[in-house]
Amino acid sequence: MSGPRIAAIISRFDSRLATLQGLLDKAQAQWADAGKDAGALIGCKLADDMLPLANQILFTCHQPNNFLDWATGVAVPTELPATLAEGATLIAATRARLAAFDGADALLESEKVISLPGNMGIKLDGAAYVDDWLLPNFYFHLVTAYAILRREGVNIGKFDYMTYLAPLVRPLGN
């Protein structure tokens, strides 16, 4: 059983990947209802100088996979999805990999070196690697995927983005 800090990291990644899948499912259903080809969404961009939805799905999945690669020492290659179905497969595989992981919190004290272009790099402890590198990148790509879908007319809103909070909603006492 994973330590509580690792379990929280895994839970956060997993629940937000479920959110991404939910967004893609809504997009596919809405476009099908409108008689449009949802497959066209995979190549849509938010801006000309940004990467398309396919990359946003891939890079959202990269963050938990990079965490697991570092934690286990086993790199699992991922490929750019060419369709929404391939995106769903990538998300499901990433979630399955997260579910199978069992790590101790001591991992977060280990060093992680992030290589950058020009023979540069960043050395972080595991906790900073998660908090300062993986999670900001994870949310950037998740939000960009959401924004692309919104820009393309998919009827989604903040509730769809924050579905992971739904189980916590209940009446408050006075």
Over 70: is that where the pLDDT of 174 sits? no
DSSP assignment of the chain, as one string?
A: ---HHHHHHHHHHHHHHHHHHHHHHHHHHHHHHTT--GGGGGG--SSTTS--HHHHHHHHHHHHHHHHHHHHS--------SSHHHHHHHHHHHHHHHHH----GGGGGSEEEEEETTTEEEEEEHHHIIIIIIHHHHHHHHHHHHHHHHHTT----HHHHTGGGGGG--PPP-
Cα separation, 21 vs 38, whole angstroms: 14
What's residue 1's pLDDT?
A: 74
The model carries a pTM of 0.94
Over 70: is that where the pLDDT of 169 sits? yes
- Residue percentage of the chain with pLDDT more than 90: 92
Q: Would you identify the CATH topology of the domain 4-165? A: Four Helix Bundle (Hemerythrin (Met), subunit A) (1.20.120)
Over 90: is that where the pLDDT of 142 sits? yes
Note the pLDDT tens digit of each residue in 71-110: 999 999 999 999 999 999 999 999 999 999 999 899 999 9
Cβ atoms of 66 and 123 closer than 8 Å: no
